[in-house]
Amino acid sequence: MKNKEAVEVQDYLDICIASQQLTVFADGYEVRRYPISTAKNGAGELMGSECTPTGWHRIRAKIGAGQPLNAVFIGRRATGEIYSAELGKQYPQRDWILTRILWLGGLEPGKNRYGKVDSTWRYIYIHGCPDELMTGIPDSHGCIRMKNIDMLDLFNQMDAGAKVFIHE
């Protein structure tokens, strides 16, 4: 599973690091496109690198259904807080994970699955973030950040197990 052509996938997410875009494909056709923010450190698979892993993944878990827009998550659990600019100023060191989480798991052994390159154990997510951080520039710690309303829309469209292709 080295590239999109190597696998027959009709429904999947395409994440392009170069264009900072996430595209939803259904029945082989583009149906939606969202702006994203990937890792400030670029592409890479190694644990601790704070890079966005490439290759084929799947959504291993959907987290946060029923939570309000801008709900704050720590350790994949809602804290009961709702993000605001004031809360952001109160905790400037936090890496904000908001609204919903799509937790990714790598599908390519040795590339993004198992050992020191395992995307699941690197806790790589697609998640909401403070909308003001969505500037079109890679700035995350490895995850794929989205505007909260976009994250909610994507979450409601996708099922656990859906394929995700991340590339430069």
- CATH number of the domain encompassing residue 16: 2.40.440.10
Whether pTM exceeds 0.85: yes
> Which residues of the chain, if any, have pLDDT below 50?
1-2, 4-7
Q: What is the pLDDT of residue 9?
A: 64
CA 117 – CA 46 distance, rounded (Å): 5
Domain range enclosing 27: 4-167
Task: Decide if 158 contacts 59 (C-beta within 8 A).
Answer: yes
Residues forming a β-bridge with 106 = 57
d(CA 113, CA 70): 30
- pLDDT for 92 equals 94
**Residue 8, pLDDT score:** 56
SS3 state at 70: coil
- For the stretch 70-113, pLDDT in tens is 999 999 999 999 999 999 999 999 999 999 999 999 999 999 99
Asked if 24 and 33 touch (Cβ cutoff 8 Å), the reply is yes
The type of residue at 139 is: D
Number of domains in the chain: 1
Q: Which pLDDT value is given to residue 10?
A: 77
Residue 60: the pLDDT is 98
pLDDT of residue 6: 44
* pLDDT for residue 2: 46
Helix-, strand-, coil-residue percentages of the chain, each rounded to 5: 15, 40, 45
